[in-house]
Chain A
Amino acid sequence: MRDDPPPRRVLVEVRELQMHFPIHAGILRRRVGAVKAVDGVSFDIHEGETLGLVGESGCGKSTCGRALLRLYEVTGGRILFDGQDIARLGPRELRAMRPAMQMVFQDPQASLNPRMTVAAIIAEPLDEHTALSKADKLARVYELMDAVGLSRDFANRYPHEFSGGQRQRIGIARALALNPKFIVCDEPIAALDVSIQAQVVNLLEDLQERFGLTYLFISHDLSMVRHIADRVAVMYLGKVVELAPRDALYNAPLHPYTQALLSAVPDPDPAAEAVTERIILEGDVPSPANPPAGCNFCTRCPQAMEICHREDPEFREVAHGHHVACHRYNEAEDEFASAMATHEARERNQQGED
């Protein structure tokens, strides 16, 4: 964990990003409040890495991903992409940036136009952003279809003729068309069957290696994120509560929410299941229109202290690359030391098993 790879260039730098959606009510549709879907989120994405963004439904992870590409007009904060603040770019400059940042959507059924052929879908970004000749475009479409493992014979077919996994390949080919640097993958495998998920994840990994892509991988599937991500950010109610290199996060989660989230994932091993002690969280996630005072997680936190109901904890780096927003790690060095000790013990155990 501490022998990290050498620090890479930061491609995307997000600072205090806020995305609030107004709530209007009454006859005059006056603004009465806001859903704070993303409320002050900061993180970096390094070139060539996969940052996993996990959390439960409604935590703001998809909104965060969309806001990063400026598919929304953000409420506040900065998004530096390659040094340029895309939160403030005008329409023309933004359009020039678009080819470098693309998106793969969750539902391949809904994100592909049913009246367009596969070739037309994949060529659409080329129509918009390049001046290629018809023949060059078709050649590029074939090249992309090869890259994602779709037979060229399918070029003139329509999306409904494909299975879910193949449709997701079409969506990936479209995202690759303009040689992007950065792709936001928003739950790209959630709608797929288990045996197809692995195919798509392996494809994403191959493409990353081949084209040097940087991914933000948004998912609620913690096991899959452990597989694909280099670093992982955990969101709860519009905020990132913990951000750490993958192994540190999974082996020694610090935030009580991350601990509960990881403990809730069932293990496909009956022997382990029989002895697992689950942390069962009480209750439900509060509404992002009306978050609790203090720490957002204090209403469900099994370790909440008095201060948690008053003050919002600061998002701080408590170990190399390991950030957490929790009052338990304010001063309590022993708290952190004990977490690290468990982690090291577990690592030793694992090495013993291997």
Chain B
Amino acid sequence: MPDGAQPILDVRDLKTVFLTRGGEVHAVNDVSFDLRPGELLGVVGESGSGKSVTMMSLIGLLPMPPAEIRSGRAIFDGLDLLQADDDTLRAIRGARIGFVFQDPMTSLNPVFTVGFQLMEPLRKHMGMSKAQARARAAELLDLVGIPDAAARLKDYPHQFSGGMRQRVMIAIALACDPQVLIADEPTTALDVTIQAQIIELVKDLRRKLGMAIVWITHDLGVIAGIADRVMVMYGGQVVEQAPVRELFSDPQHPYTRALLQTVPSLRGKRAERLRVIEGQPPVLGAPPAACPFRPRCGHALERCGRENPRRLAVRPGHEVACFWDPASGGERHA
């Protein structure tokens, strides 16, 4: 990783709120992160932690209303995505920022051939002729490992298996050589042997194409094998961020620590009993005045109920939002 390289995406203090009949839901609270060229940033969190909403906010894919971006900036290559108008965003989406979603069946259009869907961005964004686009589309399918690529352009999505459909989605996302690829739970709907195929494919494509990737998942195993850096989200906030090895070897936040212990291991020692995180994730009706993890935290201090901790660097590149210090077992001193 080129440390200190200019980030390609720099997000500061993003705040996204949903206006519902039951009141406001504060889905993303002051989220800041950056993404460096060529790196793979893993985003881990449970459902409702705000990981998908954060990414959707950036590329203008949230329906507004009910969603509303209250504040923040997201600088992509010198341009603030949150201030950009629709035309500018449309020119970026699918071209310079590609994305892959969880369910390849619902994100492909069932009434158009795969070839048509692959050629669409090439013609719209790259201004290619039909023949050029067709040749490039076949190249892309071949790149993602679909056998007999040129012939399969005429097939419809239902003629592909789940894993093959996800390969098609990746090919579409890569069509215009994006600088950033956002992958939202891209392997969650797939079987484990197919997931292994897709992960190998993404590793291989990264080596060949060198784009930066944001990989959203709840699976710590997937993150361990693929990410350079990891950002852990809970209750709409980034609670910890670290290089991948450091996050697993020296987790600082009680949530990260508990999460790592609650997952049973396939190869290590078998625990007689699973560690449990008691309670439920929070519903974010109001901007948090205290730490959102406090009700489930085994190490909560008096201060945690009064203040929401800000993110502090414990080491260069390793930040945590927590008052508790695992080294001393007491309050963290900045």
Contact = CB atoms under 8 A, between A and B. Distances in A.
A318 B249 CA distance: 40
A266 B262 contact: no
A268 B247 CA distance: 11
Interface of A is mostly: helix
Interface in B258-284: 258-260, 262-271, 273-278, 280-281
B240 to A, nearest CB: 15
A223 B274 contact: no
A56 B271 CA distance: 25
A281 B193 contact: yes
Interface stretch (B25-33, B89-97, B106-114, B214-222): B214-222
Contacts, number: 123
Interface in A237-294: 250, 260-273, 276, 278, 280-281, 284
Contact of A268 (B196, B221, B245, B270): B221
Contact of B264 (A165, A227, A278): A227
A155 interface: no
Interface in A183-238: 193-199, 201-202, 205, 220, 222-224, 226-227
B269 A194 contact: no
Contacts of A264: 192-193, 195-196
A270 B245 contact: yes
B225 A193 contact: no
B274 A227 contact: yes
B163 interface: yes
B174 to A, nearest CB: 20
Given A194-B218, A273-B225, A268 B275 contact: no
Contact of B263 (A163, A194, A250): A194
Contacts of B277: 195, 198-199
Given A165-B280, A194-B218, A284-B164, A267 B224 contact: yes
Nearest to A278: B196
A57 interface: yes
Given A195-B46, A226-B264, 18 more contacts: A56-B194, A193-B46, A194-B262, A195-B276, A198-B274, A198-B277, A201-B274, A202-B274, A220-B192, A224-B264, A226-B266, A265-B221, A266-B222, A266-B225, A267-B266, A268-B263, A271-B249, A273-B225
Interface of B: 46-47, 161, 163-164, 191-197, 199-200, 218-225, 244-245, 248-249, 258-260, 262-271, 273-278, 280-281
Q: Which 7 A-B pairs rank lowest in CB-CB distance, beginning with the nearest? A: A266-B221, A273-B225, A56-B191, A264-B196, A227-B264, A198-B274, A195-B277
23 contacts: A57-B191, A193-B46, A194-B262, A195-B277, A198-B276, A199-B277, A199-B278, A202-B273, A202-B276, A222-B192, A261-B192, A265-B221, A266-B219, A267-B267, A268-B220, A268-B265, A269-B248, A270-B244, A271-B248, A278-B200, A280-B193, A284-B161, A350-B269
